Amino acid sequence: MRTRIRLLASTVVVALGVTGLASPANASPSSQAPGETSLASFQGRTIDLSKSWEGAQACAVLSRTEVRCYASREEEKADLASLATSTSTSRGAGGPIGTLDWNGCDEDWLCIYEHASFGGRKLSFNDEYWHDLDNWGFVDMTSSYTNNQGGNEILGGCSGTDTGTLGDGAGNNLQMTDCTASGNLGSYNDRAEDIHG
């Protein structure tokens, strides 16, 4: 009888221990990762990009929780260059952020544009995870892109390994290999719902 009670008690302890250890492993990574914000700093105030860009023409997603917007691409370039200098961050062989751009997209960034031929509002990324474009009021609005990651096209050195991806929410993806650009997305125009930088 004592053996059965000990065995039953051991089984309960082991089961509780396994359940306790298994819970974190079974939790989805997305539920543990911090959520992205739709809020951005713009001209000394906070705006909600999911509702309105309030006149901003360029926004850079610096992290899941920090987005900066600007009245012009020139203003964005100057701020990102200043940020890189103040944090001693350099991007590739070309030097600090802002030194080598292509279609207004800084070196080591992936940029999408509202209109064909790299026109309209611009949204920039330089990380490696999926983003929901709804956060920034950019769903079904991408008409061109520049992937200036992996080296600058003028200098060469592109590795072909820093590909970006546009997804349409229905399982169809458009690959954007590093050091490529497209001024017209053809049948993929205004279809992107998410992006992987």
Q: Which pLDDT score is estimated for 165?
A: 96
Tokens of 189: 């125009």
Question: What are the strands of the beta sheet with 110-115, ordered from one edge?
Answer: 45-48, 39-42, 67-70, 58-61, 119-125, 110-115, 144-147, 180-182
One-letter amino acid for residue 15 of the chain: A
Residue 151 — pLDDT band, cuts 50, 70, 90? low
What pLDDT digit, counting tens, does each position of 157-169 carry?
A: 676 778 999 999 9
Least confident range from 96-100, 117-121, 155-159, 189-193: namely: 96-100
State the average pLDDT over residues 149-159.
64
Taken in order of first residue, the domains within the chain and their CATH numbers are: 33-196 (2.60.20.10)
How far apart are the C-alpha atoms of 45 and 24, rounded to whole Å?
Answer: 38
CA distance 117 to 144: 6
What digits encode the pLDDT tens for the residues 35-84? 788 999 999 999 999 999 999 999 999 998 999 999 999 999 999 888 87
Q: What is the mean pLDDT of the chain?
A: 78
Q: What is the pLDDT of residue 80?
A: 86
Q: Can you give the pLDDT at residue 161? A: 77
Q: Cβ atoms within 10 A of the Cβ of 21, count?
A: 10
3-state secondary structure the chain: CHHHHHHHHHHHHHHHHHHHHHHHHHCCHHHHCCCCCCEEEECCEEEECCCCCCCCCEEEECCCCCEEEECCHHHHHHHHHHHHHHCCCCCCCCCCCCCCEECCEECCCEEEEEEHHHEEEEEEECCCCEEEHHHHCCCCCCCEEEECCCCCCCCCCCCCCCCEEEECCCCCEEEECCCEEECCCHHHCCCCCEEEC
Looking at residue 197, what is its pLDDT? Answer: 83
Instruction: Please tell me the predicted confidence (pLDDT) of residue 39.
Output: 96
pLDDT in the model for residue 155:
52
> For residue 110, what are its two tokens?
């992936």
Per-residue pLDDT at 93 exceeds 50: no
Token representation of residue 117 = 């031929």
